[in-house]
Amino acid sequence: KLEKEMAAANGKLATLETTLADAALYVASERDQLQRLLQEQKTLQEQARTAEEQWLELSAQLEAMESAG
pLDDT tens digit at each of 69 positions of the chain: 888 988 999 999 999 999 999 999 999 999 999 999 999 999 999 999 999 999 999 999 999 999 997
The type of residue at 45 is Q
What confidence score (pLDDT) does residue 55 get?
94
Largest CA distance in the chain: 62
Residue 29 per-residue DSSP state: G
Q: Are 16 and 44 in contact (CB under 8 A)?
A: yes
Q: Are 37 and 17 in contact (CB under 8 A)?
A: no
What's the pTM value of the predicted model, to 2 decimals? 0.83
Say if residue 51 is exposed, middle or buried (CB neighbours under 10 Å; 0-12, 13-18, 19+).
buried
